[in-house]
């Protein structure tokens, strides 16, 4: 099915270049039925995720060359060192996995497929949204187009701040037309971050109510109803429309969310393949959406350079293995019970890095004798567990702290924590000062006492950000900590870092160096915007301005920079 869909897409993309294709050789070259539209949309789901570049940019991974004495490891791939140092990422090939180019190309390809499907449906019906044969695909195409732009804008642009600030930040091209010419001018499609969010919302609402799970053979590999509601909940959370976030999270989770959370207690730890199959089970109610990708994240994590590690007090590197699964929480001590028997280590001890089984790769052989093929990793862009944490955050900002605590307690219960979650436990766990922070008053970085705290700067991001009491702020810290655990290896921590202006510290030492370098990323550092792929820049697209803090300029729409000046 995927090969047929790709054949149809390829024929359409190049039909204007070759007159011979004006004469259709067979019925595969024209999308003229609801079934062909559904087949085409299969290839709109991207086979790439920004997980690796986002994890390297964030604060989950540390450099073993700093933490482990006398080690001088190379990165698994050259571009990974650039990502960790927040440099422009240029050392990659166009066919390499996990690069900015792979993400940009895969997501815009998916957008192109969705646009072809929409155009085809309009040629078949004057009102596809009310056509019984086409309505579902019309909904899927619009929701998918919204999601693909959502990921691109959160990777390659500033985080959403508010309508006033975000209209001044360049976003990405929001493409809604079919590309039927060889060279396309995207200057008119390039929007501000605020405009991109408006268009995402328009597409999302256009398609949401049309999704019919019964139309899918395997709903978990498509935007089914729950995946769509979960996407809406996260979108509105990022936009700080907490009422709509709560509305759609409720629709996804239903009346008994615990029944749909991941069943960690029933996952056998006999073999890694057994664990992996259970985690990626397409029938599990927690897995709203599953995405198959070409990714080498497993190999990167076991290559001894960037890892979840034990940290270094001397170099102010926190023990990320404690933050993520070994160091306890507000109502549990030491390791989360859910992870017992499910953590794998490289080398003799945890100082060389450890990783959860979920990123273990599937290998697809193209030639078993030669031992060659493709590496796949399955990701879950939307799950019941992450949606529950979206809801908890919305509830907190809506003034319902009790409901937020109940959802957080539900999350710990699903992770086999027997003790109840209380405000007192949260107050005790999330007290003190962040281990790495930035003082806006003095303009200096500091080292605090608590590795579990995120140094947030929401009011600096937007004056419209709601303020919280001290007690509520500690609940927020708990939510951010749980989200960090829930989404490790997925790159979503980087999105939280961007939207909350969280301070990040990286210590690194190159494989041929003795000196250890320290660098910090504060809330308005322009390096929070990942540079668009060099190949796109070389083709004439304006590059991101990563030299000036966000919010500086003369008020004009800049044509040579990726930021719209303040």
**Architecture of the CATH domain 1-48+97-215+538-566:** Alpha Horseshoe (1.25)
Residue 190's pLDDT band (cuts 50, 70, 90): confident
pLDDT of 251 reads 98
Domain ranges of the chain: 1-48+97-215+538-566
d(CA 104, CA 391) in angstroms, rounded, equals: 30
Whether residue 261 has pLDDT greater than 70: yes
Whether residue 565 has pLDDT greater than 90: no
Lowest mean pLDDT among 69-83, 132-146, 396-410, 490-504: 69-83
324-346 residue pLDDT tens: 999 999 999 999 999 998 988 76
Q: Are 135 and 124 in contact (CB under 8 A)?
A: no
Q: Are 196 and 174 in contact (CB under 8 A)?
A: yes
d(CA 255, CA 245) in angstroms, rounded, equals: 16
Q: Please give the model's pTM, rounded to 2 decimal places.
A: 0.91
d(CA 329, CA 398) in angstroms, rounded, equals: 25
Range of 189-193, 243-247, 304-308, 529-533 with top mean pLDDT: 243-247
Q: Are 547 and 526 in contact (CB under 8 A)?
A: yes
In 222-348, which ranges are E strands?
287-294, 306-307, 343-345
pLDDT of 27 reads 47
Whether residue 1 has pLDDT greater than 60: no
Within 8 A by CB and 6+ apart from 379, the residues are 49, 51, 290, 291, 293, 295, 490
Q: Which of 272, 280, 317 is nearest to 451 (CA)?
A: 317
Q: Are 384 and 252 in contact (CB under 8 A)?
A: yes
Question: In this prediction, what percent of the chain has a pLDDT beyond 70?
Answer: 89
pLDDT of 369 reads 81
Task: Name the pairing type of β-strands 504-508 and 444-447.
Answer: unpaired
91-119 residue pLDDT tens: 999 989 999 999 999 999 999 999 999 99
Identify how many contiguous H helices and E strands the chain contains and give both numbers. Answer: 21, 13
């Amino acid at each position: 099915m995927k090969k047929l869909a790709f054949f149809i897409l390829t024929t359409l993309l190049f039909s204007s270049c070759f007159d011979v294709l004006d004469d259709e050789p067979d019925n595969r070259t024209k999308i003229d039925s609801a079934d062909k539209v559904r087949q085409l949309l299969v290839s709109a789901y991207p086979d790439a995720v920004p997980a690796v570049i986002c994890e390297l940019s964030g604060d989950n991974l540390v450099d073993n060359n700093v933490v482990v004495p006398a080690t001088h490891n190379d990165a698994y791939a050259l571009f990974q060192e650039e990502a960790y140092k927040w440099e422009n990422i240029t050392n990659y090939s166009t066919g390499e996995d996990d690069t900015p180019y792979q993400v940009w190309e895969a997501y815009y390809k998916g957008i192109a497929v969705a646009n072809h499907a929409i155009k085809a449906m309009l040629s078949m019906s004057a009102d596809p949204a009310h056509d019984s044969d086409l309505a579902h695909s019309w909904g899927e195409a619009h929701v998918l187009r919204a999601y693909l732009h959502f990921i691109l804008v959160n990777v390659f642009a500033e985080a959403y701040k508010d309508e006033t600030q975000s209209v001044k930040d360049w976003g990405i091209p929001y493409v809604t037309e079919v590309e039927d010419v060889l060279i396309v001018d995207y200057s008119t499609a390039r929007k501000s971050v605020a405009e991109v969010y408006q268009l995402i919302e328009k597409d999302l609402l256009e398609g949401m109510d049309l999704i019919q799970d019964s139309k899918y053979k395997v709903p978990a590999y498509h935007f089914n109803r729950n995946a769509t509601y979960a996407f809406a909940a996260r979108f509105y959370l990022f936009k700080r429309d907490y009422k709509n976030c709560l509305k759609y999270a409720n629709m996804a989770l239903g009346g008994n969310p615990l029944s749909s959370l991941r069943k960690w207690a029933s996952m056998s730890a006999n073999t890694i393949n057994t664990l992996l199959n259970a985690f990626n089970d397409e029938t599990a109610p927690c897995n709203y959406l599953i995405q198959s990708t070409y990714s080498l994240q497993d190999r990167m994590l076991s290559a001894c350079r960037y890892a979840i590690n034990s940290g270094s007090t001397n170099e102010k590197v926190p023990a990320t293995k404690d933050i993520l699964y070994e160091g306890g929480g507000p109502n549990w001590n030491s390791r989360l019970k859910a992870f017992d028997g499910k953590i794998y280590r490289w080398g003799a001890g945890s100082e060389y890095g450890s990783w959860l089984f979920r990123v273990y790769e599937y290998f697809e052989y193209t030639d078993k004798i030669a031992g060659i093929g493709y590496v796949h990793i399955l990701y879950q862009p939307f799950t019941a567990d992450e949606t529950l944490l979206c809801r908890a955050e919305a509830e907190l900002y809506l003034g319902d702290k009790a409901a937020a605590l109940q959802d957080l307690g539900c999350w710990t219960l699903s992770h086999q924590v027997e003790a109840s979650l209380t405000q007192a436990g949260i107050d005790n766990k999330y007290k003190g000062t962040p281990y790495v922070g930035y003082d806006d008053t003095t303009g200096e970085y500091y080292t605090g006492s608590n590795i579990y705290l995120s140094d947030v700067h929401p009011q600096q991001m937007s004056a419209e950000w709601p303020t919280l009491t001290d007690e509520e702020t500690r609940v927020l810290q708990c939510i951010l900590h749980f989200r960090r655990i829930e989404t490790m290896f997925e790159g979503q921590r980087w999105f939280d870092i961007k939207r909350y202006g969280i301070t990040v510290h990286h210590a690194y030492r190159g494989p041929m160096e003795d000196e250890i370098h320290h660098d910090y990323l504060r809330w308005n550092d322009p390096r929070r915007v990942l540079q668009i792929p060099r190949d796109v820049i070389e083709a004439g697209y304006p590059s991101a301005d990563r030299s000036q803090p966000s919010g500086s300029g003369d008020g004009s729409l800049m044509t040579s920079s990726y930021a719209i000046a303040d």
